Amino acid sequence: MTKMRDLVTARAAGLALCHDCHKLIPWQKQYEQRSPVCPRCGADVHMRKPNSINRTWALVITAAILCVPANVLPIMQVDFLGSAEYSTILDGISYFFEEGAYGIGIIILTASVLVPGFKIIGIVLILLSIHYQWQSWLRHKALLFRVIEFIGRWSMLDIFVIALLQVLVNFGYLTSIESAPAATYFTGVVLSTMFAAITFDPRLLWDA
């Protein structure tokens, strides 16, 4: 059975990957001073994504900060006969559980609370693993990153539901639904974690 230490990486073989079109090109010593250009798409080629760690840290810290107003402030405003009622994400989850709609409540709880928290904690653990050069569970951490990258877009479910309700429930003075300030912060959380996954270079796990 082939061991990990016996495998040759593209970097060790003198090859670099274009991050735009994913073409492998030969990497020479003079490229350390200047970035080569991909012969297929014309993009600058780097052995690793430039400033990947710093950018990922900045984005994940931003997401963690935005999580506070996203969960504390109201995310939806319901106007009924001129009277406005505000609800937070947790208020909506509690409402569905009290009404017996456990399926919808679990979906919103997972997409709006658990998934963003899971992504932030997961990315932080991966970054700490690189910083302290933890060499255990590398395959599991690589799989964790793929999961974070895949589920990133599904956190927008809450915003999609509010946007849909704004269109469907709009009867003027009688009743209407509008987004509240937390919707902006929650969108910032989702986008920050998605961009953090995009800017992070998972090959840094194996380099460390």
In the chain, CATH 1.20.140 sits at 49-207
- Give tens-digit pLDDT for 150-163: 887 677 776 777 77
Residue 74 has pLDDT above 50, yes or no: yes
pTM for the predicted model, two decimal places: 0.78
Helix (H, G, I), strand (E, B) or coil at 96: helix
Note the pLDDT of residue 127.
Answer: 92
Q: Quick one: average pLDDT of 71-98?
A: 80
How many whole angstroms separate alpha carbon 24 and alpha carbon 35? 14
Amino acid (one-letter) located at 172:
G
The class that CATH gives domain 49-207 is mainly alpha
